Structure 1
Amino acid sequence: MTGSPALPPIPLSVLDIAQVERGRPAARSLATVRELARRAEELHFKRFWVAEHHNAPGVASSSPAVLLAAIGAVTERIRIGSGGVMLPNHAPLVVAEAFGTLGTLFAGRVDLGIGRAPGTDAAVASALRRLPAEAYADELGDLLSFVTGSFPESHPYRGITALPAPPAPPEVWLLGSSVSSAVMAGERGLPYAFAQHFFGARGAEEALLAYRAAFRPSVLLATPHALLTVHTVCGEDDAHAHHLAAPAVASALQVDGLVRAEPLPSPEDAAALDWPDKEREYAAELLAEQAVGGPESVRRRLGALIGETAPDELMITNNVTDPKEKLRSLERVRELFV
Structure 2
Amino acid sequence: MNFRQLKYFVATAETGQVSRAANELSISQSSVTTAIRELEAEMDTELFTRTSHGMELTQSGRELLGLSYDILTKLDEAVNIRERSSGVTGRVLVATTYTVIGYFLPYHLGRLARLHPNLDIQLHELNREAVEEGLLSNRFDIAIVLTSNVMNPELESETLMRSPRRLWLPQGHRLANLRSVDFKEIADEDYIMLTVDEAANTTMKYWNFGSTQPRVKLRTSSIEAVRSIVANGQGVTVLSDMVYRPWSLEGKRIVTVETDPPVPTMDVGLAWRRGAELSPGAVALYDYFRLTFDSSLTLNS
Q: Provide TM-score, normalisation by structure 1.
A: 0.28
Q: Provide TM-score, normalisation by structure 2.
A: 0.30
Larger strand proportion, structure 1 or 2?
A: 2
Greater C-alpha Rg: 2
